[in-house]
Amino acid sequence: MKNRQIILVARPKGKLGPEHFQMVEGVAPDPKESEVLLRVRLISLDAANRAWMQSATYRSAVEAGAVMAGGAIAEVVMSRASDFKPGDLVFADTGWQDYAALPAKALIKLPHIEPITNLLSVYGIAGLTAYFGLLHIGRPRPDDTVVVSAAAGSVGSFVGQIGKIKGCRVVGVAGGTAKCHWLMNELGFDAAVDYKVGSVHRALKAAAPSGIDIYFDNVGGEILEACLPLMNTGGRIVCCGAVSAYDGTAPAAGPRGVPGLIVIKRLLMQGFIVMDYFNERETAVAELQRWVQTGQLKIKEDVIDGLESAPKALIGLLAGENRGKRMVRVSG
């Protein structure tokens, strides 16, 4: 069986471009004892993919010359492990290719939920990241003001909607008028700030007149800096990502006001990744399903066809062109 693979030919020093990727063709690997052969169906695209190219994070860095890493939904086509049989759906870091052979212990078996794209959006890393980060670290109370950046992205769009379910005033920060209108008119955000126009600090001050109780930070940098002085005493900053620092050269200096404002306002800043809450995922998925069924939580997915489209789709995601969860359909 033919196996197409997208290789990261070089780790980018500046902005990521198509020249950093190359497609090659080989044959599907043979699974070893206790491994399974997987056919990749949907690859998750995430800003974190770019961070993996910089250095070791919560995983080792992606190396030049290797298949580009990435989480995906895949189907077992041949199994040499007792726990898996052909037809099983799993989540795994298959990388950007048609087929992967992986040890059984590297696979997470997925429940039967249709459409399966939902397993990468609301019931996958995006929805669970929003759920655990906002509820466990942000600890929203009714009437709290929640600000979320990259609000039209996969995680942000869920954060804002869950904030509304919890009775908060929700302000989204996004790029462009169209996204801002979509957040307010379709997703029920109370306000939206277009970071591409004028002073974000001034716009946030107007959109959050009682100050900010929870800032769910997907971007770091200047938007975090704009939020810091607006935080209320005892506020919580949920550190989920720092996209502003991923697609460039050396890390820039941090936001002004750290740590001075953290002291003065007794803020809590806490980082997390969704795997920290892996044991609680079933409860979370059940609650997310209830919200989807009652129409309180809307799902926005951005599915792009073809493995060959993955590089351009990731580059576009880093430029903010997507709404909701972006993924690449590799097969059936």
Residue number with CB closer to its own copies (187 or 224): 224
| Smallest distance, its own copies to C-beta of residue 269, A | 4
With 0-12 / 13-18 / 19 or more C-beta atoms within 10 angstroms meaning exposed / middle / buried, residue 222 is: middle
Residue number with CB closer to its own copies (90 or 228): 228
Residue number with CB closer to its own copies (38 or 238): 238
Q: Alpha-carbon Rg of the chain, whole angstroms?
A: 20
| Smallest distance, its own copies to C-beta of residue 107, A | 24
Residue number with CB closer to its own copies (27 or 250): 250
Residues whose CB is less than 8 angstroms from the CB of residue 268 and which lie 6 or more positions away in sequence, other chains included = 137, 235, 236, 237
Residues that bind its own copies (CB under 8 A): 51, 57-58, 217, 220, 224-225, 233, 237, 239-242, 245, 251-273, 276
**DSSP annotation string for 127-138:** HHHHHHIIIIII
| Smallest distance, its own copies to C-beta of residue 6, A | 25
Judged by DSSP in three states, 149 sits in strand
Residue number with CB closer to its own copies (165 or 245): 245
| Smallest distance, its own copies to C-beta of residue 219, A | 9
| Smallest distance, its own copies to C-beta of residue 217, A | 6
DSSP 97: B
Alpha carbons within 13 A on the beta-carbon side of 93: 12
Residue number with CB closer to its own copies (38 or 48): 48
Residue number with CB closer to its own copies (270 or 296): 270
**Residue 67 to residue 23: CA distance in whole angstroms:** 9
Q: In DSSP terms, which residues pair with 90 in a beta bridge? A: 74, 109
CA distances to 92, 113, 283 from 279, rounded to whole Å, are 17, 19, 9
| Smallest distance, its own copies to C-beta of residue 145, A | 19
| Smallest distance, its own copies to C-beta of residue 280, A | 15
**Residue 9 to residue 12: CA distance in whole angstroms:** 9
**Residue 66 to residue 89: CA distance in whole angstroms:** 25
Q: Which residue has the tokens 């939904």?
A: 73
